[in-house]
Structure 1
């Protein structure tokens, strides 16, 4: 999972995540618990983001806004947890273990 771009958007910060599903399984749902820290290291916002569906073997782009928070005020984004994920067999509990994070921005994306 790559933090690809942060872009100012009408007073908000628009986040672009690139997700590459290399597991061989399609996911109906992948709900992420994301925590945004400011440049001082203080928690600025916490969001639940639905990143699914993710077809098997496909790269997808997910974009979402962080309301009332400027991109310049972001110091780090944490993938705190995968709140839920579901494949064809149903709910899974191990999704955080196979997610890795990276960033093409100056703002680190970590787990």
Structure 2
């Protein structure tokens, strides 16, 4: 039988745990770069990958280039390439499209963002493009990093 003080402790613990993500991560979640694979479509001579990128940092990213690995449905590496996302203004979404030549979209199973190759964002290093990078997809193609 549960006692009244156990119920009160559970309620207090639940309230603390519910508030924890809001207090600890409110700024952290938005202060990151997110890349979402939004669409995959056959294009003349290859596969068109459409990404939505959103820079959640307080400052613009002047240049962002990511080393990207394309894998088939079995996980075999098909190719390693660089995707140049260009300028990503702070707080504003941008759509970037890449045609991958000689690739059938049906053969694409996974996209691995292997890391930032270049990141120019007012502070030295790749941190604004790499730390806290959030990845997602609206397609059947898995995106990992």
TM-score by length of 2: 0.73
Unaligned runs of 5+ in 1: none
Structure 1 stretches (4+) deviating beyond 3 angstroms? none
Work out whether 1:72 is the aligned partner of 2:106. Answer: yes
Aligned position for 1:15:
49
Q: Which has the higher helix share?
A: 2
Specify which structure has the higher proportion of strand: 1
TM-score, length-normalised on structure 1?
0.94
Equivalents in 1 of 2:81, 2:69: separation in Å?
Answer: 6
Shift of 1:90: 5.1
Query: Could you give the per-residue CA deviations for residues 34-73 of structure 1, whole angstroms, max 9, x where no partner exists?
Result: 0000112110011101102001111000001111000000
Q: Distance in 2 between matches of 1:90 and 1:21?
A: 15
RMSD of Structure 2 on Structure 1 (CA): 1.1
User: Matched residue pairs, number?
Assistant: 110
Task: Could you tell me which runs of 5 or more consecutive residues in structure 2 were left unpaired when the two chains were aligned.
Answer: 1-34
Q: Which has the higher contact order (CA 8 A, sep 6+)?
A: 1
